[in-house]
Amino acid sequence: MLSFKLALRNLLGAGLRTWLNVVVLSFSFIIIIWTKGILEGWDRQAKADMIKWEIGGGQFWHVNYDPYDPLTLDESHDRIPAGLISSVQPPVPVLITQGTIYPGGRMLSVLVKGIPPEQKILALPTAKMVSADGEIAAIIGKAMAENAKLDTGDYVTLRWRDRNGTFDARELKITGIFDTNVPTVDVGQIWIPLAELQDMMLLPDEATLIVTPENAGPGEATEEWVFRDHEFLLADIESIIRAKGSVGIIVWLILLMMAMLAVFDTQVLSIFRRQKEIGTCVALGMTRGQVVKLFTMEGALHSVLAAIVGAIYGIPLLFLQSVRGIKIPLESSDFGLAMAEKLYPVYSAALVAGTILIVMIVTTIVSYWPSRKIAKLNPTEALRGRIQ
């Protein structure tokens, strides 16, 4: 206890030099917590949006379906299993094929997706797929609408190829435009009623994938249908978050090294300037180990003061951002990632406590390193102001 009080008094007595180190170290605390909180918030938000708009409780894929290879679409469809249709909450079958639209005289390749208008599992506004006089209703996302220069009520020609390889074309009427944070249901895609697409493709009662309700549990795979759970379907966003986290670690290390360098230099300078004080302490009965402990504690207290100072200005700042969010440029959707216009950071107790603990441990080690020299001192030489 005496060593702690003496270390704190010496630290506060150093004045401006101490507070400069404390402020720099507090910046490291806040930035590490802030960047990690952004990644955690993005992770949770992206997963929630993908489950809401695209994944549901999981998906059954046709065994030949590969979302990264459009050439597999010709062979990746089969009849919907009767056992799934008769379930209490019917899943959502989706039929996918390639097509081409011609908005304003231009040609755009799209994925045409058929989905039941009455479905309730996904957030897609499929209820808007209502038309009259034999028209085929279609809904598209906001990004797709901007790219194709289409608006609600517009007509566009769609060309496709049926199961026999025969090309055909029909007029589609855009009956709805939805705004989503998930580009994988928006960019380059057009949604029409499942029955219409099955009739156009000559594929009655067939689908490419089947979306199950949330909390439905793992489905029973068959020879033609493979169940994909959340872990599989969210693997891409997980890998992206891990990659971003690796970049964040580099930034954290740079900040931490700068702060530790300041603490290390302060300790070296303090030992050099306080040689007579060290010699006096030893001459008065303090052991070399106690003196080393005193100087190590002084350095470690930098992190304690930094945590206090960081809490004073960091808690209001981080709380405000977690409530109001951080606005992201709209161009971020061009990367094909599920990212909202605003990200809401998530700061868990484990994140804050872990960051403080790591910084304190590193600060203590850095403080002890130059203090080891005291253990080798000669009290007589130290009293004369000389440490070898």
Pair 115, 251 in one domain: no
Neighbour tally for 115: CB within 10 Å: 24
Kindly tell me if the per-residue pLDDT of 330 is higher than 60: no
Please report whether residue 327 resides in a domain.
Answer: yes
The helix (run of H) or strand (run of E) holding residue 155 is strand 155-161
Residues above pLDDT 70, as percent of the chain? 79
Domain-terminating residue out of 216, 251, 283: 216
Q: What is the distance between the alpha carbons of residues 249 and 149, in angstroms, rounded to a whole number?
A: 42
Pair 133, 162 in one domain: yes
The helix (run of H) or strand (run of E) holding residue 178 is strand 167-178
Pair 244, 205 in one domain: no
Amino acid occupying residue 355: T
Question: Are 37 and 322 contacting, i.e. CB atoms less than 8 angstroms apart?
Answer: yes
3-class DSSP assignment, residue 383: helix
Kindly tell me if the per-residue pLDDT of 112 is higher than 90: yes
Q: Which residue has the higher pLDDT, 309 or 255?
A: 309
User: So what's the pLDDT on residue 384?
Assistant: 56
Number of domains in the chain: 2
Residue 191's pLDDT band, with cuts at 50, 70 and 90, is: very high
Pair 93, 211 in one domain: yes
Please report whether residue 286 resides in a domain.
Answer: yes
Average pLDDT over residues 20-28: 82
Kindly tell me if the per-residue pLDDT of 270 is higher than 90: no
Please report whether residue 97 resides in a domain.
Answer: yes
Cα dihedral 374, 380, 382, 386, rounded to 10, equals -110
Please report whether residue 95 resides in a domain.
Answer: yes
Q: Which residue has the tokens 């793992």?
A: 218
Residues in the chain: 388
Question: Are 85 and 115 contacting, i.e. CB atoms less than 8 angstroms apart?
Answer: no
Please report whether residue 366 resides in a domain.
Answer: yes
Q: Which residue has the tokens 């056992």?
A: 83
Average pLDDT over residues 148-155: 92
Pair 132, 277 in one domain: no
Q: What is the distance between the alpha carbons of residues 125 and 198, in angstroms, rounded to a whole number?
A: 20
Question: Are 229 and 50 contacting, i.e. CB atoms less than 8 angstroms apart?
Answer: no
Q: Give tens-digit pLDDT for 213-225.
A: 887 666 566 788 9
**Range of the structural domain that residue 203 is part of:** 58-216
Pair 172, 262 in one domain: no
Worst-scoring range by mean pLDDT, 109-118, 291-300, 324-333, 365-374? 324-333
CA quadruple 230, 233, 235, 236: dihedral sign: negative
Please report whether residue 259 resides in a domain.
Answer: yes
Pair 292, 365 in one domain: yes
Average pLDDT over residues 331-344: 62
Q: What is the distance between the alpha carbons of residues 374 and 378, in angstroms, rounded to a whole number?
A: 9
Candidate ranges 26-40, 242-256, 270-284; pick with highest mean pLDDT: 26-40
Q: What is the 3-state secondary structure (H, E, C) of 5-60?
A: HHHHHHHHHCCHHHHHHHHHHHHHHHHHHHHHHHHHHHHHHHHHHHHHHHHCCEEE
Worst-scoring range by mean pLDDT, 158-172, 335-349, 357-371? 335-349
Pair 204, 243 in one domain: no
Question: Are 164 and 201 contacting, i.e. CB atoms less than 8 angstroms apart?
Answer: no
User: So what's the pLDDT on residue 145?
Assistant: 93
Domain-terminating residue out of 187, 216, 245: 216
Amino acid occupying residue 272: F
Pair 64, 197 in one domain: yes
Question: Are 42 and 241 contacting, i.e. CB atoms less than 8 angstroms apart?
Answer: yes
User: So what's the pLDDT on residue 138?
Assistant: 95
Pair 127, 244 in one domain: no
Kindly tell me if the per-residue pLDDT of 97 is higher than 90: yes
Q: Which residue has the higher pLDDT, 233 or 302?
A: 233
Pair 195, 298 in one domain: no
Domain-terminating residue out of 185, 216, 247: 216
21-55: string of b/e by CB count within 10 Å (b at 16+)? bbbbbbbbbbbbbbbbbbbbbbbebbbebbbbbbb
Please report whether residue 337 resides in a domain.
Answer: yes
User: So what's the pLDDT on residue 353?
Assistant: 87
Candidate ranges 110-124, 209-223, 353-367; pick with highest mean pLDDT: 110-124
Please report whether residue 226 resides in a domain.
Answer: no
Q: What is the distance between the alpha carbons of residues 96 and 199, in angstroms, rounded to a whole number?
A: 13
Pair 246, 207 in one domain: no
Residue 339's pLDDT band, with cuts at 50, 70 and 90, is: low
> Whole-prediction pTM value?
0.75
Residue 82's pLDDT band, with cuts at 50, 70 and 90, is: confident
Kindly tell me if the per-residue pLDDT of 334 is higher than 60: no
Neighbour tally for 384: CB within 10 Å: 12
Structure tokens at 352: 């804050």
